[in-house]
Amino acid sequence: MIPLCIISTHLFAQDKHDEIIAVWDAGEAKVEVHQVGERYIGNPINPKGERDSAIEVLNLEYNQGKWVGKIYSKERKRLYDVECEVKDAVLLLEVDAGLLSRELEWPQVK
């Protein structure tokens, strides 16, 4: 019975990782997050509705129940530290820009 519990716990944890894999509405663009190895990469959706792999908006790894990594600011043309979590089909992003931080909410695109 114990091995079954370990396997089911592992599968539940894996599902938690995958909840970020979706298309998110970032306001001026939609961003598709997909997994590449151990990383979670977010690329914008182009006008044709396809993922634009040439532009990387998010580069994250799953660590202690949250996704942490970098987010690209198109306005400032630089990378910032970001911490993300998913709650009720909304991607919550906390962007750290040194002395300032900003919280963003990206709803999941259905």
Q: Say if residue 63 is exposed, middle or buried (CB neighbours under 10 Å; 0-12, 13-18, 19+).
A: exposed
At 40-69, the pLDDT tens digits run 999 999 989 999 999 999 999 998 889 999
CATH number of the domain within which 74 lies: 2.40.128.520
Q: What total number of domains does the chain contain?
A: 1
**Domain range for residue 86?**
2-107
Residue 76 has pLDDT above 50, yes or no: yes
What's the confidence (pLDDT) of residue 15?
Answer: 59
Of the given ranges (12-16, 57-61, 81-85), which has the lowest mean pLDDT?
A: 12-16
Class of residue 83 by CB neighbours under 10 A (exposed 0-12, middle 13-18, buried 19+): middle
- 38 pLDDT more than 50: yes
